[in-house]
Amino acid sequence: MSTTTLNPELKSQLKDIVGNAFVDDPVQMAAYVCDALGHYEAIASMILKPKNTNEVSKIVRLCSENNISFVPQGGNTGLVAGAIPGPEKAELIISLERMDAIHEIDSINSTMTVDAGCILENIQNSADAIDRLFPLSLAAEGSCQIGGNLATNAGGTAVLKYGNARDLVLGLEVVLPNGEVWDGLRALRKDNAGYDLKQLFLGSEGTLGVITRAVLKLFPKPRSVCTALVAFPDIEATTLLLNLLREKTGDMLNAFEYMDKHCFDLLDEHSDLSNPFSQSFSHYALIELSSSHDSDLNAVLEGVLVEAFDSSIVLDALIGASLTQKQYFWKMRETIPTAYKKLGFGVIFDISVPVSSVPLFIHQANEFMKNNAPTARTLTFGHIGDGNIHYSAMQPKEGDVAAFRSLKKDLTVGINNLAINLNGSFTAEHGVGFAKVDELLRYRSETEVRLMKQIKSTLDPQNICNPGKVVSW
């Protein structure tokens, strides 16, 4: 059984590895031990900030030799408490923030080799500087780190065209729970030499090892981009337009982001953003087409929208006439996760269902909330193009907030059950972390859970690598 107790000698040895790059003052550690939503607050024995893979290896080897549990941490922007210590465990935190170097950019192979602590936005900018695109895009891209993105298999707004984070990786370097370094930094698009080991660590949430470097795929930089905000008569119309766009534009469709009326009301109330339409609608989508060629995508999208208007699929549409207007549309979408935190306590869902089932899920979820928490403020937004819906039930404006808080477990089970009954998942892109361990045990089969535990126990027999996250044993 692992421990979190650091005796003075061991503490001194760990500090010697990183020099003065450590934090052991409780006040200074505060930012590292709270989750992004503010739902969990932990304690840590110490925070170490290694500057390279060798230092990570030395730290982890020392932890293994002394049976000390540790938590790998990137930007700590996750929403399932996966990158902070467990409750009252005072675990050691290994922060990758100093490991932020970009080691190699190969424009011919279209790859970039980076340290795990690189900020996502810096990677995007470095790709842009050589006329390439790294397509992973998240609201937290200015602070999240690529190691955390890969460890959680982040999704974001461009999954429709480029896939999840695991689809953007060719090679990895990982420090295993015993301190050994696995060098899988191969920049190959074809490699059938045995099991694809990197896939074990992508999406493992730091429970199987510490990702320290990665070889990332780059793509041609878009030459043409068309962005539009579209209003619909009902939720069913959104998937009808999505299907029409796929038929008419093929792989030019880059994003299809849904927002309901309550999201626009939220922005009016808690941001400096206002509805750009002259009237309010119940359903909206942010649509983006992109091409690596010089193309008149506005004309392409206008043609599809005319057909959609004629079929009563679309009520109104605004095509971004300038870069400023396009950025404004995206800012509206990206501000929602920040704005809804201002509403107070909420029960936040990250579900996915087959795209064809999205309208039914939203209808069923709204009906469930109406019957079980009628005073809650509901918000629905997300990546409708890949079936990932962020459904949120926030505390009522007026009324008994404590009573609403007491409903959290029942609301969680009820909404997740709706997704599962539609062959969906209770977590689409946020992961499991600590917050959703019970859901994984509830909704995954005994066979799946057993296999996950066998993988965990094989790679981390001491259970010292981010214990209590994903699978608890």
The residue among 127, 126, 6, 159 whose CA lies nearest residue 68 is 6
What CATH number has the domain bearing residue 54?
A: 3.30.43.10
Q: What is the CATH number of the domain that holds 425?
A: 3.30.70.2740
Question: If you count them, how many residues does the chain have?
Answer: 473
Shared-domain flag, residues 327 and 354: no
Q: Of 307, 339, 371, which residue is a domain's last?
A: 339
Rg (C-alpha) for the chain, rounded Å, is 23
Q: Are residues 143 and 216 in the same domain?
A: yes
- DSSP assignment of 81-98 equals S-SSPPTT--EEEEE-TT
For residues 231 and 261, membership in a common domain is answered with yes
Gap between the Cα atoms of 210 and 89, Å rounded: 20
CATH number, position 329: 3.30.70.2190
Judgement on whether residues 250 and 207 belong to the same structural domain of the protein: no
Which helix (H) or strand (E) segment holds residue 227: the answer is strand 224-232
Low-confidence ranges of the chain (pLDDT < 70): 1-4, 473
What does the block give as tokens for 434? 């600590």
Tokens of 95: 């922060």
Residue 448 lies in a domain: no
| Helix H or strand E encompassing 325 | helix 323-339
Provide the 10 A C-beta neighbour count for residue 267. 21
Q: Does some domain include residue 286?
A: yes
Looking at the structure of the chain, the number of domains it has is: 4
Tell me the β-bridge partners of 172.
184, 214
Asked which of 311, 339, 367 is the last residue of a domain, the reply is 339
Do 206 and 287 lie in one domain? The reply is no
Domain that holds residue 302: 224-339
In a domain, 463, yes or no: no
64 and 25 within one domain: yes
H-only helix segments in 193-234? 198-201
User: CB under 8 Å to 98, separation ≥6 — which residues?
Assistant: 21, 49, 50, 51, 117
In a domain, 389, yes or no: yes
| 70 and 116, same domain (yes or no) | no
Cα separation, 373 vs 411, in Å, equals 8
In a domain, 181, yes or no: yes
8-state DSSP, 380:
E
Residue located via tokens 């605004």: 318
Question: Are 91 and 119 within one domain?
Answer: no
Whether residues 402 and 331 fall in one domain: no
Q: Where are the alpha helices (DSSP H) in 227-273?
A: 235-249, 261-270
Residue that is last in its domain, among 35, 66, 98: 98
List, in sequence order, every residue forming a beta bridge with 390; answer none if it has no partner. 350, 381
Shared domain check, 395 and 302: no
Three-state DSSP state, 279: coil
Is residue 472, in this structure, part of any structural domain at all?
no
Please, what sign has the CA dihedral across residues 400, 405, 410, 411? positive
Note whether 219 and 132 are within 8 A (CB): yes
* pLDDT at 2 (0 to 100): 61
SS3 377: strand
DSSP-assigned beta bridge partners for residue 347: 393
Q: Is there a domain that residue 114 lies in?
A: yes
What per-residue confidence (pLDDT) applies to 40? Answer: 87
pLDDT tens figures, 204-237: 999 999 999 999 999 999 999 999 999 999 999 9
Summarize the chain as % helix, strand, coil (round to 5). Answer: 40, 25, 40
Let me know if residue 23 belongs to a domain: yes
127 & 203 share domain: yes
With residue 374 as reference, give the H or E element that holds it. Answer: none
Residue with tokens 């909420």: 346
Helix (H) or strand (E) holding 352, with range, is strand 346-352
Claim to verify: residue 154 and residue 234 sit in the same structural domain: no
19-32 pLDDT tens trace: 999 999 989 999 89
Instruction: Encode burial over 294-319: b for 16+ CB neighbours within 10 A, e otherwise.
Output: ebebbebbeebbeebeeeebbbebeb
Say how far apart CA 463 and CA 473 lie, in whole Å: 8
